[in-house]
Amino acid sequence: MDTVILKDLADRATFDGVVVFGVAMKYFHGSYLIQIELDDLNHPLGAVTLEQCERFSKSFIEVINAAIDSFFENGELPEDLTIDNYSLEVSSAGAEREIRIPDEFERFRGRALKIRYRTNDETIRVEHGIFDSLEEGLVKFIGFKPKSQKKVKPNPFQLELSNIVKINLYLDV
């Protein structure tokens, strides 16, 4: 199933700075699992509350139930999807959520990050840092060492944007 249609339906259920971060639909033994991750643009880490998940769930159920028949006719949703054979799972994108590169660099400026990047020999490496700047495809980070490595002095570093594989928020507890 095309998740673009599912995301469009989910976007119709958003409210007050709570937006859809990710969507997925999985088929298991005659029923569907719809998974939706939310992001709160008003929260510094994007965390959503249980109440926000509940409010979104109620709204999304109304939206998808109303859409099932009309989208079925257009072939945009699975033809065997009914209001009785799906489950909905709504959650926060998570405390160590993925950062959308480069769109969310400014939003999470000053936050510790876990950066996975590709070296020249195609090895995947991991560094920890705090976003500093992005100029002409070069991303600069302020060095950061997790608590477990505090004896090591962090150094600033920079990476080509094209070599960054994935960045997540990092909680150092």
> What is the per-residue pLDDT for 78?
86
Q: Is the pLDDT reported for residue 2 higher than 80?
A: no
Instruction: Tell me the three state secondary structure of residue 144.
Output: coil
CB 130 within 8 A of CB 140: no
Question: Using one digit for the tens of pLDDT, what is the confidence trace for 25-46?
Answer: 999 999 999 999 999 999 988 9
Mean pLDDT of 81-97: 94
Distance, in Å, from the CA atom of 115 to the CA atom of 34, rounded to the nearest integer, reads: 29
Closest CA to 107 of 116, 98, 118, 115: 98
pTM for this model (two decimals): 0.84
- CATH number assigned to the domain covering 3-92: 3.30.300
Distance, in Å, from the CA atom of 78 to the CA atom of 82, rounded to the nearest integer, reads: 9
Question: Using one digit for the tens of pLDDT, what is the confidence trace for 94-150?
Answer: 889 999 999 999 999 999 999 999 999 999 999 999 999 999 999 999 988 887 666
Q: Is the pLDDT reported for residue 74 higher than 60?
A: no
Q: Annotate 9-43 with b (16+ C-beta within 10 A) or e (fewer).
A: bbeebbeeebbbbbbebeeeeeebebebbbbbeee
> What is the per-residue pLDDT for 144?
86
Question: Using one digit for the tens of pLDDT, what is the confidence trace for 11-23?
Answer: 999 999 999 999 9
Distance, in Å, from the CA atom of 89 to the CA atom of 68, rounded to the nearest integer, reads: 18
Q: Evaluate the CA torsion angle 75, 79, 84, 86 in order and state its sign.
A: negative
